[in-house]
Structure 1
Amino acid sequence: MVSGRLWATRARTTMARKAAVDLDVEAELSDAWVTSEPDAGALRRAHEAFTSGGRVQLPPVRPLVADSWRRSARARVSPDGAARVELADDELAGHREEHPLSAAMPVIRELMGAYARDGEHLLAVCDAAGRMLWVEGHPGTLRRARAMNFVAGARWSESVAGTNAPGTAIAVDRPVQVFSAEHFRRPVQAWTCAAAPVHDPRTGRLLGAVDITGGDRLAHPHSLAFVQAVARAAESHLALLAPAPAEDRVRLTALGRDEALLRVGGRGLRLSRRHSEILVVLAHRPDGVGGDELLTLLYEEESVTPVTLRAELSRLRGLLGPELLRSRPYRLAASVDADFGTVDRRLGSGAVSAALGEYAGPLLPSSRAPGVVRLRERLADRLRAALVDRGDPALLADWTYSAWGEDDVEMWRALSEVVPDAGLAPVLARLRALDAELSAGATVLQRRAEHSRR
């Protein structure tokens, strides 16, 4: 008889190998890849036109790359700059040990290690903030990569390092291949890379990305299909390691997304926006909410009637089942493990770094439901205040260089007060840009006010 542990090991290996050769995923990747013979000279000329005058030439620039260049420019990334190392050896070791992707490294190395060494490439794995956790592969290629700080501990998020495969894959949350002068920074333009995001198989939370980096030989659609298959194998491996959820356990994921994910009894559901708002409110109020109060928490308009709310709740009950959604008062019959609740609890215990690690973005960011807005603002304000109190440059940078923190003037100012001198220049540049945008906006509002008074 095969033992449970041996069976699980064989199953993981079989799934990983199957995923690695399953190249049918190409059909899903569209302009995420480069052609087999891209025109490097035309790309260099297009890059120069953009960095000197802001003009994008489509083609040879792909739309995905053009969007990334624009984001890089808005983030004030220097085309001639270099990535910076943020995690020293001791911090890096601790971060690796605690990171969920450490459990997937055996599979990633099995699938990519020999390929990277034999092809004179590098395999790299980064966290969701774009910080490189592992960079391994051919010794000569590793030496050359050190010249541009493509090393473990360096941040390669798009908002800091410009267009690059792992950073851009995290920014857009899908597989990306970047060739030659498609890289925003000139020191990186001798390289080609392909990366795919890796998610927590239970919650869908972005954990980081897996990347293959090397020379022009990687400029082929199969390189991207290969790295996406490795990412899928890593997710399958993590799923096998995860404990089976209890039948009565309910998991709600609502940070950084407009449509929440609900997992109950091993069943995953993507909720509508209104149902997402209802579940967030009920998860926050486990003792229940009366109908009149729930109406005020969900709807801005006073004209909305209780009949409308009851209809939404009826549809939600049909989706969840009457055993989970109860009434009089409206409440959830099972305890809910909500991601925003986890962040709140970790803040309450003083675990600021862990709280930020769990914070995938604002709570239902597009929601205007009054109850959700209050929860969203309260959680963000608590986290921001805790980060300022801690005064850790790396944690503050995690916030300001995120999609939700890039325009947060107060947090950029807090970062400017604690960041080392070597990293101060880009922070001050971003502050000047934000101040200019705020001044321009104030001028527009003033002119509109004067016009309306005439």
Structure 2
Amino acid sequence: MAYSPKNMTQLASVDAPRAARLLNDIREAALAGKRAPIAPRPVIEQSWRRMRRSGVDPERDFRSGLLAPDEVQRRREESPLRHVLPVLREGLLQFADVTRHIMVIADAEGRVLWREGCSPVLRKADELGFELGADWREDVVGTNGVGTPAVVRRPVQVFAGEHFVRSQTSWTCTGAPISDPRDGRLLGVVDLSGPLETMHPATLSWVDAVAKLAESRLRELQQNSLEQLRAVAAPVLARIGDQAVVVDRDGWTAAVTGMPYTNRIALPKSLSAGRRWLPALGLSAVEPLAGGWLVRPAVEPVPRAATRIVLDLGRPRGWQVTVSGSAGSWTHELSPRHAELLYLLAVNRSGRSAAGLAADVFGDPARTVTVRAEMSRVRRYFGGFLEHRPYRFCEDAAVEVLLPDDPRDLLPHSTAPAVAKARESAALT
């Protein structure tokens, strides 16, 4: 029988010692390979399995070292989450001090960038190494409310003894991932932490709702930024009698003239002005604009045929695809859904129909509309390297897939039947 977060939180609110004992009994039995009095929740049990496979020691309080203050500041200044701090503070901090919580915001790499809230709880967090600049990835410090939501890409509440590492079992935390609303890229995790008895049945929904408000605010800010860039671009494009596109610093299109519109153009990470090779356009002239770039395709043709495509799924998150050819190379970070789709095409080189992919991803071959919409987004940055009818990588490309050291850790967030089957097959070998 599996317990529910609601029931456990209700028990904790009236009898915290009993709840802590029950959770510790479950943890001790599971880690010893014995039958637990009550089965762990699936999200916790799956996390514990990942921890055992990755070699995390449940009895060792491992700390990888804090980032230097100047590095924390640099990451803060570069993180899109800095723009939604007011939303997170207004949604969570107004109750945090009263209810003995702290709010923690970590980046996509699990590094703690902001911490605010109840002073005594902050001091307790210091004792646990839950400090500014600390690394709280799941595969570093075990099951927790920062690292685990980043892996499974959904809100997770971790109660006391559900933490994998013993030193954290007096702690309870609730975290929710915050993703870029444009492409699903993980930006970080917001977490509320405190003693077990302070948890409320609504905490998980509360944190999730505030994270979604932050994502909505990001979408609004991104649209406003594109509108401003569009206004800057209008007189520039009016003077150009040839093909041109204006994009923001991340490659999102603000305006276009003389050529088909596309939502986004893949840009190198360190783009500079001059003649540059871009995956979607070939050789191009790149000029800076306030808040973005003016891009004009050059006259000289540049070969676009890919010679090698590397799909890197070897990490718990931060999946990416790299395309290399005679004209250059480029790398694109993948959203969880796009990582699933490209993996399925990589292991099915002859191709998959929309219905086949729908069955692979959703277990329902009728969901072709959703698949076609996602594949359309993939092809916007993948261009001619991905064909359709059926969907497949182009024939002249050598495709390589980099898997985790333990294939059972493949795309741990994924519930796609075909991916789950691949993990199960790996477990049997």
TM tier, smaller: 0.5 to 0.7
Matches within 5 A, 1:392-411: 405-407=404-406
The answer to whether the Cα contact below 8 Å between 1:117 and 1:138 also exists between their aligned partners in 2 is: yes
Other-structure match for 1:239: 219
Query: Aligned pair 1:374/2:374, yes or no?
Result: no
1:372 Cα deviation from its structure 2 partner: 9.8
Matches within 5 A, 1:47-86: 47-51=27-31, 53-55=32-34, 57=36, 59-82=38-61, 83-86=63-66
Other-structure match for 1:195: 175
- Structure 1 pair 375–154 and aligned structure 2 pair: CA distance change class (3 A): same
Query: Aligned pair 1:299/2:350, yes or no?
Result: yes
Task: Summarize deviations over 1:118-171 as a string: whole Å, max 9, x none.
Answer: 222110111222221112111111111111100121111111111111211111
CA RMSD of aligned residues (A): 4.4
1:224 Cα deviation from its structure 2 partner: 0.5
- Secondary structure at the counterpart of residue 34 of structure 2: coil
Task: Summarize deviations over 1:83-139 as a string: whole Å, max 9, x none.
Answer: 333421111111111111111112111211221122221101112222211121111
Matches within 5 A, 1:257-336: 298-299=349-350, 336=380
Aligned residues: 280
Other-structure match for 1:118: 98
CA distance in 2, matches of 1:92, 1:406: 30
1:370 Cα deviation from its structure 2 partner: 7.0
Unaligned stretches of 5+ residues in structure 1: 1-29, 261-269, 282-296, 302-314, 326-331, 342-366, 381-403, 409-440, 446-454
The answer to whether the Cα contact below 8 Å between 1:72 and 1:163 also exists between their aligned partners in 2 is: yes
Task: Summarize deviations over 1:54-104 as a string: whole Å, max 9, x none.
Answer: 336272521221111111111111113233334211111111111111111
Larger RCO: 1 or 2 (CA < 8 Å, sep 6+): 1
Identity rate of aligned residues, in percent?
35
- Secondary structure at the counterpart of residue 398 of structure 2: helix
Other-structure match for 1:433: none
TM-score, normalising length: structure 2: 0.55
CA distance in 1, matches of 2:398, 2:158: 40
CA distance in 2, matches of 1:213, 1:231: 15
The answer to whether the Cα contact below 8 Å between 1:277 and 1:369 also exists between their aligned partners in 2 is: no
The answer to whether the Cα contact below 8 Å between 2:177 and 2:211 also exists between their aligned partners in 1 is: yes
The AA in structure 1 aligned to 2:89 is R
The AA in structure 1 aligned to 2:140 is V
Query: Aligned pair 1:132/2:132, yes or no?
Result: no
- Secondary structure at the counterpart of residue 221 of structure 1: coil
Other-structure match for 2:185: 205
The answer to whether the Cα contact below 8 Å between 1:37 and 1:219 also exists between their aligned partners in 2 is: no
The answer to whether the Cα contact below 8 Å between 1:161 and 1:185 also exists between their aligned partners in 2 is: yes
- Secondary structure at the counterpart of residue 97 of structure 2: helix
- Structure 1 pair 405–132 and aligned structure 2 pair: CA distance change class (3 A): farther
Pick one of 2, 7, 10 that aligns with 1:36.
Answer: 10
The AA in structure 2 aligned to 1:176 is V
1:206 Cα deviation from its structure 2 partner: 1.4
Query: Aligned pair 1:250/2:224, yes or no?
Result: no
Other-structure match for 2:129: 149
Other-structure match for 1:352: none
CA distance in 2, matches of 1:375, 1:319: 22
Unaligned stretches of 5+ residues in structure 2: 13-18, 227-252, 256-260, 267-310, 322-336, 353-367, 386-390, 408-425
1:32 Cα deviation from its structure 2 partner: 6.4
Other-structure match for 1:216: 196
The AA in structure 2 aligned to 1:177 is Q
Query: Which protein is richer in helix relative to its size?
Result: 1
The AA in structure 1 aligned to 2:98 is D
CA distance in 1, matches of 2:191, 2:96: 11
The AA in structure 2 aligned to 1:50 is A
CA distance in 2, matches of 1:56, 1:178: 21
1:300 Cα deviation from its structure 2 partner: 7.3
CA distance in 2, matches of 1:42, 1:271: 40
CA distance in 2, matches of 1:149, 1:132: 10
Pick one of 157, 173, 185 that aligns with 2:153.
Answer: 173
The AA in structure 2 aligned to 1:374 is A
Query: Which protein is richer in strand relative to its size?
Result: 2
- Secondary structure at the counterpart of residue 85 of structure 1: coil
CA distance in 2, matches of 1:405, 1:61: 25
1:249 Cα deviation from its structure 2 partner: 2.4
1:50 Cα deviation from its structure 2 partner: 2.6
